[in-house]
Structure formats: structure tokens, C-alpha cells
Amino acid sequence: MSCAADVGNDNDVYAPKRTSNENILRYNAYEEPATIDPSLVHGGADALIVRQLFEGLVSLEPITQIPIPAVASSWTQSEDGKSWDFLIRPEATWSDGRAVSAEDFRAGIERVLRPSTMSRQAPELYVLKNAKAFHQGKIAMVVGKHVRPRRPPFVTLQEDLTSTSTLATLATFEKGVAVELLDSNLRRVAGQRPLLLRKTPDEKSEVTSTLAPHQDALIIAKRGASKADRRQQAWVQLRPPDGGQAGWTREKHLIVVYPELNFRRVEGERRFSSRVPLRVAASDHADVAAWVDDDQEIEVLSKRGAWLLAVEPISGRSGFIREDHVDNEYGDRHWLLVRTKVPPPLGGDGRPKNSSYGWLPARELFRSGDLLGIRAEQDTLHFELEQPQSSFLASLASPAFFPLPQHVLVKSGSRWSRLEHLVANGAFILERRRSGDHLFLSRSERYWNRNDVHLDGVEVLFVVDEHTTLDLFRTGRLDALAPGHLPVEALPALKRSAAFRSSNLFASYFLNLNTTRAPFDDVRIRRAFHLAIDRRLLSKVLLGMSEPATHLVPPGAPDYPVLEGLAADTVQARKLLAEAGFPDGKKFPRVEYLFHSGAQHKLIAEVLQAMWLKELNVEVSLVNQEWKTYVKRVERRQYEIAKADFVGATLDPALFLGIFSSSSGDNHTGFRSTNYDDTMQKAKALLPSLERNQLLATAEEMLNRELPLLPLLFFRSEALVLPEVQGLAQNQLGTTYFKNVYFDGMRPHLPQRMPALDLENALKQRNQSPTKAGISPSHDGQEGIAEGAAFQKTHKEEKSSSPSFSKKKSSLSSEAVQESHD
């Protein structure tokens, strides 16, 4: 069979004629989004659709992933890189015609961070000032016993100090010092009861007073100290939000925040009943999520000394508890304590236990502008970062930073993202959907850059089955498939098709080893298993879907070296196994290789099983589990060897290496190394630089030596796309935008000007690489390489090139990024 002969000819069954000549792209996404609410996005399927419907401050150029202006027309950044100002484009509008405001962005970001939203994306926003503390609910309110500020300010921890282990049990002072109680302004509180001081053998005094039940925090300092001294030496006692023992910390760890809200304190008891459906939002002590039915009479009470609680009248029927609070037409919220008529049982800490009523601590309720590093002023959005971060600009293109139409949220509540209410600001609008089958996106006539959107619409299908998808593609009913879902057994035929496209993915496939128990607690055995794998053969069996990998971090990270791990060496492998006490694999315990259903996972497992048997004479039993069972078993470390993979969200090696820090929730190998943790800690505190990359490289070398994981493969992203479909870029991070796509000969808006000169270098580079990019001029005067006939014939060249990565090749896209960035 000749390989190349039938490319593009009529026998190419996998590049059929389109059955439709409409200017509509029919794309199979395989997986259906669970939600199209940008705040709730979780996973690629959600993000794919949300990216078409909404647009952030910047968007990413399809191939190079360089941030280009989107809703923000321009931006400035301060010297220290900590504060950023974005100017919102005046012509940007929502699909109902209203202008997109800076406030829409601010509110969207705040919503993601609000604990009650339960957004999985919140950690992406931790780069913003105070965002982490806010999201984790580490905000306490200062209520001293005699302190009655009109507006109780919040005190929030600068660092993650609220767990009992980091809070000191006692506040210590020099010998014989008298202390006084301070309010949140660090002013002396008159008429206080003296605190009890206790002397210790080492000539110090300790404060033994503890928080009264109604107090959330207490501040003390040396009596008569100057204001500056107070700031330096005051102690604060906090009640951690997780309900643990209260503890002391230094005042300088705290940020005091003065909310604008009008808290109303109710003395004694007041009652009123409501016929309005009331919702009590989940508090961040989520043990008190509450739900009040439409017709239920409720009592609203205040609790002495507590500044608690929101009751929100919400119009219409009450929905799911996940709904968050939005300022609504009822105006000011009532800051009150609510409970239903049935008195709740109280837990040991005096907090209610049951969920049929709820107490909400006020600490969750404040306007974030005062606290969070984000502020909206007319048409400018201002960010304040915890520390400078170079990937910040690119991260603005992720759904966590998208704007939300406040006017719609107020009206429709959590139902705002349903078809009938949805208002968006992206290149496409949602026209119809049929769950489990498809949704139809049509060109938005209100998108600010509509002239550069070439398609009339996109029909996104959710055909799950890989083979069914191929059938639809073959019969001309699909124009493009999302990458990464081609059936292994069909690959030899598919690779000959003109529609086949392949590109690198910033993703790694590896095996976790359980280092906490025998036999893999012995590094010699881990190494023996590593050395016994012939990765070239493995990659060949997988028909070139992947490149062999001897280390964790995929090539492609800017300025990061490729650190080859140990190459296959079966002699050495047997020797190590013998040294560890198992000469010729004798008496080697039974080990289990855990993976989950999926054709290629099974194939990989079987190949490895055979290799280890042949080279080490070791029997590995394969355990194929359904997805969730697999997840749980890996989490509980009930395995010896377990399949794992990771796809980078940005081109940062730290994402991969961070998995194996001992504090990482994704480190299921039991690998713990203080040396490794320190290195990672240091690296993460740095801006991307040579120094940082060196630290990361040291960390990766540690992994190469210690091998808590066996690197196997770097996956490629492969898809079928009809040859006449242009502009559907495949990039290393797997983000897809339909707004750049057009069909050959159906592009209504022709190039207006030639690309900027500084792109030439980048293009030269690109042309040397296996993936060639054509140029099409950019539209709005910003730099950007619109992708042309990029990936069409590249697979042929790829096959003939060496399967291993060279450093030069792999760092290409990063160089391109840097150059055009300047």
C-alpha cells in the first residue's frame, strides 16, 4: 500500500465532499458541556462552548497563544508588574445591545471567588490580591466585648495561617507588660475587662484569655504602645473558619478591611414573617446551607453580639441552592439571622448542625472591591496582584475572568445561562440546543469584531462514540472533529487521509508508582521498571499517536531544557532488580497495574505487562476499572502502579512538577521530599526567568532520579478536518476558537493588510518546524498570526522525521511567543 499516493484523491474516504454548501461549520465536540455559565466551567467541554459565546479582556492568538486585545482595547502595567489597568472597548456590547462594562468583569470575577458559587476555577484567580483568603473564607470580623463600631470591619489573614497548627496557642509579651484590648482601628477600647496575664519561667507573659462564643476575633497590644508599635506587636486571636480551636497570630499578618455595607444590628428579638420566597445562601461553614420554601413562614431573629446573616428575598420560584446571591431589585440586603420555625439542634460549638435552617456569618458578605485586588472605574478595570506574574495576561483569556451580564443575572438568577435568558458578548450566540445531541451557535450581529467572523454558524455535535463519529465524517455530515478522539485501530487508514491533522500537545502520559509500600518503596525497583520499558516500541504500537518520553515535562515550555531521563537498559534493569533482592524476578510480589476503561489505556497496559514479563520476569496483573472507581482507588492509594496523565493549561513546567510536591492534592504516589518541596516553593515564588527554569529543572532531575512516576509518552493531538476548512488551529494547549474559521472560497471578508514585519522571524522559525503556518493578515492592527493552510500536509513530513524531540524543535512556539510579544 502506498502511503502518499491517495492523499487528496477520490479514494480518500476520510476526506469526503461536504454534503452541505452552507457557510456553517459542523464540528463534533464529542463531550457535551455540563454548563455554559462561565463561572461554573469545569473541564474542556464547558470551556469550548463558553469561549465561543463569551469573550474576555484578551483572547489568545490561535496558534502562538499570544494574548491579543479582545474586549480590552489596551492596557498598562505598573513598574513592579503588580497592578494592571485595562481599558474596556466602548463598542463591545452584550447580545442584547447593552454595553459591556468594567463592572460586568468585576462582578464576574467576584462571583467565581465567592465561596457559595462553588466554582472550580477559583484557584485560577488566586493571583489577585486577597482572592485566596476571600475564597477560603479566612476573613474574620473583629467584635471585641465592648467594641461597638458602627461598621464592623473585617480582618483577613494575609497568609494561610488559620489552621490550628499555624496559629499560636498563646500570645507572648515581655515580662510584666500590661496589655489592652484594641478595636479594629488599633485604637484602645475603653471600659474593657482586663485580660489575664500569666508569667512563664523564661521571663515572659502570656495571655490566656480566649474568644468568647460571640467573638470572631480579638486584638491586644502592649498598654500605651504607640500606633506604630501596635501595628508591629499587636496580637490577634482568631477563630479559624473551619471551626477549630481559636489561636493567636501577629497583627501584621492581617489586613483590616472596612466594608461599605450598612450592617444593622438588631438588639433583642424581632420577628417577621415573609410570603416572599426567601433564600439563605450557603455559608462558608457549609454545614449551614439552608433552604426556605416558598410558603414557609420564617422567623428572623438577631443573635446578641453577632453580626450575622443574610436573607435574600429572591423573586420567582426558588431554585437550586447553588444559586448565588446577586444584588437584586429588593435593594439592600437584610443582614439578619434566619431560622425556620423548627429550632435547630446545636452542635458542640454552638453552631447549628442541621441544614433545614441556616446561620450565615457576615464574613461572607461584603463588597469585594474593598478587599479583592479588582476595581471597576467607568471604562477601566484595575487589577492588583499578590505578586507579579507573567502569565497573568494570558490567563485573562480563561473563562474565570469572563464578564457576566449583571442585568440578566439580577433578573433571571441562576437560570440566566439557559437558552431563553442567555445574553453573551462573544462572536457567536446560542441559537438552539438539544441536549445530548447538538447546539447551534450563530454569528452574533452585536459582536464588536463581527466583520472578522466568517462563518454564519457552527453546529456543535456531541456524538460520543468515536466510530459513529467517523461514520458521520465519512458520509460528509461533519466538517471537523475535536482532537484526541480518533480510534487507535483506524489510525493507519486515517493517517493517509488529506483530512488528517496532527500537532503537539502540552501533555504527558505517565504511571504513578505507590512509593509508600513494597515493592515500589525501593528506588532500585522503580528504576528497574523504568529501564525495562522500550518506549519507542510502545509508541510504535500506539501507531504514532504519541512520542516516547523518559521525563515528565513535555517539550514546548519557553526556555525550559528537555531533560532526558534514563534510557532503556534491560541489563541494568535486571541488575537493579537482583540488588533489590529479586534475582531474575524470583519471589517478586504480585503487583497491580490500575487503569480505567479506554482502548489505548488497555493497549499501553498490555504492552508494558509484556515488557516487564520479558525483561524482568515479573508478573504484573492488570486491573481495568470504571472511571470513578479508578479515581477513588488512586486517591486512596490502593494500587502499586496506576495510569495517569496531565494536560497543561499554560506552557508552564511548574504545573507538571507541582503535582509531586508533598502538599499537592494530586500527588497520589506518596512521594515526599523536603528538598523537592523547597525547590518547587522557591521556583513558584519567582517570575518566569532563567533562574526559575533552573530551579524547575533541578526538580525535574530529582524526579528523574527518584522516579515516583514512570514517564511514558507525550501525546499528540490528532483530528480529522476537511481540507477546505481553514483557520481551525490546533495548538499545544488545545484551545479552539471558531471565530477564525472559514471555508475555502467562502470568506466574506478579505485580507485588508499584510502582516506586521516583526512576525517574519517567527514565521521563518515556524516553517522549519513540521507544522507550517500560512499567513493571513490580522484585522485590527494588532499582532497576530491568523492561521492559514497550516496543518494540511504536515503529517507526512512528521512521519519521516525522527520521533524524538530535539530541543530546537520543541522550543519553537515559545520563541515565537517571545518575539512577537516584544
Partner 1 sequence: MTNFILRRLAQIPLALFAVAILTFFLARVAPGGPFDGARQLPVEVERRLLQTCHLDAPVYEQFVDFLRSWLSFKADGCTSMSLQMPGRSVWEIISEAFPLSLQLGLYSLGVALLLGLTAGIVAALRQNTWMDHVAMSTAIVGVSVPNFILGPLLILVFSLTLGWVPPARWDSAASWILPSLTLGLAYSAYISRLTRAGLLEVVRQDFMRTARAKGLPVRIILFRHGLRAGLLPVISYLGPAISSLFTGSMVVEQIFSIPGLGRTFVTAALNRDYNVVLGAILIYASFLMVMNLIVDVLYGLLDPRVRIES
Residues that bind partner 1 (CB under 8 A): 34-35, 37, 40, 43, 115-116, 118-120, 122-123, 135-137, 282, 284, 286-287, 289, 291, 293, 319-322, 355, 414-415, 417-418, 434-437, 461-465, 467-468, 471-472, 474-475, 477, 626-629, 631-633, 635, 645, 664-666
Beta carbon nearer to partner 1, 349 or 521: 349
**Residue 231, SS3?**
helix
Q: Which contiguous run of DSSP H or E holds residue 85?
A: strand 83-88
When the beta carbons of 297 and 691 are compared against partner 1, the nearer one is 297
Decide whether 669 or 726 has the Cβ nearer to partner 1: 669
Least CB distance from residue 631 to partner 1, whole Å?
A: 5
Give the CA angle between residues 454, 460, 464 to the nearest 5°.
150
Closer of 375 and 643 to partner 1 (Cβ): 643
Q: Which is nearer to partner 1, 144 or 648 (CB)?
A: 648
CB of 414 to partner 1, least distance (A): 6
Determine phi and psi for 358, rounding to 5 degrees.
-160, 145
Of 372 and 786, which CB lies nearer to partner 1 in the complex structure?
Answer: 372
* Smallest separation, CB 19 to partner 1 (Å): 10
Q: Which is nearer to partner 1, 159 or 758 (CB)?
A: 159
Cell digits for 34?
Answer: 455540563
Compute the least distance from the CB of residue 634 to partner 1, in Å: 9
Residue 244 CB coordination number (10 Å):
14
DSSP class of residue 96 equals T
Which uninterrupted H or E stretch holds 162? none
CB nearer to partner 1: pick between 462 and 560: 462
| Smallest distance from partner 1 to CB 663, Å | 11
Q: Nearer Cβ to partner 1, position 319 or 774?
A: 319
Instruction: Count CB neighbours of 128 within 10 A.
Output: 23
Closest by CA to 503, choosing from 34, 63, 18, 32, is 63
Q: Which is nearer to partner 1, 268 or 665 (CB)?
A: 665
Report the 10 Å Cβ neighbour count for 627.
10
Provide the minimum distance between the beta carbon of 476 and partner 1 in the complex, in angstroms, as a whole number. Answer: 10
d(CA 727, CA 788): 6
Give the Cβ contact number of residue 792 at 10 Å.
20
- Residue 345: alpha-carbon gap to chain centroid: 38
Compute the least distance from the CB of residue 142 to partner 1, in Å. Answer: 23
Beta carbon of residue 468, minimum distance to partner 1 (angstroms, whole number): 5
For residues 463 and 28, give the distance between their C-alpha atoms in angstroms, rounded to a whole number: 7
| Cell numbers found for residue 725 | 476548512
Single-letter amino acid code for the residue at 804 = S
Give whichever of 320 and 329 is closer to partner 1, judged by the CB atom: 320
**Residue nearer to partner 1 on the CB measure, 508 or 769:** 508
- Closest to partner 1 by CB, 157 vs 759, is 157
- 774 contacts 763 by C-beta, under 8 angstroms: no
Closest distance between partner 1 and the C-beta of residue 304, in Å? Answer: 27
We find the least distance from the C-beta atom of residue 458 to partner 1, in angstroms, to be 17
Cβ burial, residue 135 (10 Å; 0-12/13-18/19+): buried
Burial environment of residue 466 by CB neighbours within 10 A (0 to 12, 13 to 18, 19 or more):
middle
State the nearest-atom distance from the C-beta of 748 to partner 1, in Å: 28
CA angle 75, 80, 83 (to 5 degrees): 45
Q: How far apart are CA 83 and CA 103, in angstroms?
A: 17
Distance CA 159, CA 386 (A): 11
Distance CA 720, CA 771 (A): 16
- CB nearer partner 1, residue 86 or residue 416: 416
Q: SS3 of 238, please?
A: strand
Shortest spacing between CB 540 and partner 1, in angstroms: 27
DSSP code for 434: E
User: Helix, strand or coil for residue 730?
Assistant: coil
* Phi, psi angles (nearest 5°) of residue 172: -110, 145
What minimum distance in Å lies between the beta carbon of 463 and partner 1?
4
Beta carbon nearer to partner 1, 45 or 218: 45
Pairing of strands 620-625, 591-596: parallel
Name which of 172, 199, 168, 194 is nearest 181 in CA terms: 194
Cβ-contact 585, 595 below 8 angstroms: no
Strand order in the sheet with 428-434: 428-434, 438-443, 457-461, 24-28, 480-481
Q: To the nearest whole angstrom, how small is the minimum distance from the Cβ of residue 320 to partner 1?
A: 4
Q: How far is the CB of 469 from partner 1 (least distance, A)?
A: 8
438-443 and 154-157 strand pairing? unpaired
Cβ-based neighbours of 244, under 8 Å, separated by 6 or more: 163, 164
Distance, CA of 759 to CA of 784 (rounded, Å): 8
